[in-house]
Amino acid sequence: MNQLRGDLDWIVMKCLEKDRSRRYDTANGLATDLKRHLEFRRKVLGAEHSDTLDALLNLANSYFDADHKDEALKLREQLVPLYRKVLGPENPTTLSALHNLAISIPTGYSA
């Protein structure tokens, strides 16, 4: 568990580094480290652990805010059934995840 915290702390500190040359060169570099951290979290804690779900939610929201709508949609499609299973269909977090999924779906989208 300490390694999980340390890994995420390292990612955050690299984002906040005063020396620009020591920060991430691109958003893709940050995304790569966050994906790696998420996969490690899934392996250690399990896919349905609340910390794993929160990390997945944060990554999806970051993708959406960075205008990577396709990536956000994929993650949000994974989140809704997990939240329904873990928290229940009427839990506020589940409903929020469903809302986030709805706003991620492009106009004219068909499954």
pLDDT given for residue 50 in this prediction: 86
Amino acid identity of 4?
Answer: L
- Give pLDDT tens digits for 36-55: 888 888 888 898 998 889 88
Nearest to 101 by CA among 74, 65, 62, 68: 74
Between 5 and 17, residue with greater pLDDT: 17
Those residues whose C-beta lies under 8 Å from the C-beta of residue 99, and which sit 6 or more positions away, are: none
> Distance between CA atoms of 59 and 63, rounded to whole angstroms?
6
Tokens 């990577």 appear where? 68
Q: How confident is the model at residue 77 (pLDDT cuts 50, 70, 90)?
A: very high
pTM listed for this prediction: 0.71
Domain locations in the chain as residue ranges: 2-104
> Distance between CA atoms of 74 and 82, rounded to whole angstroms?
13
Cβ atoms of 23 and 31 closer than 8 Å = no
Nearest to 91 by CA among 63, 42, 50: 50
Cβ atoms of 51 and 38 closer than 8 Å = no
Say whether domain 2-104 belongs to CATH 1.25.40.10: yes
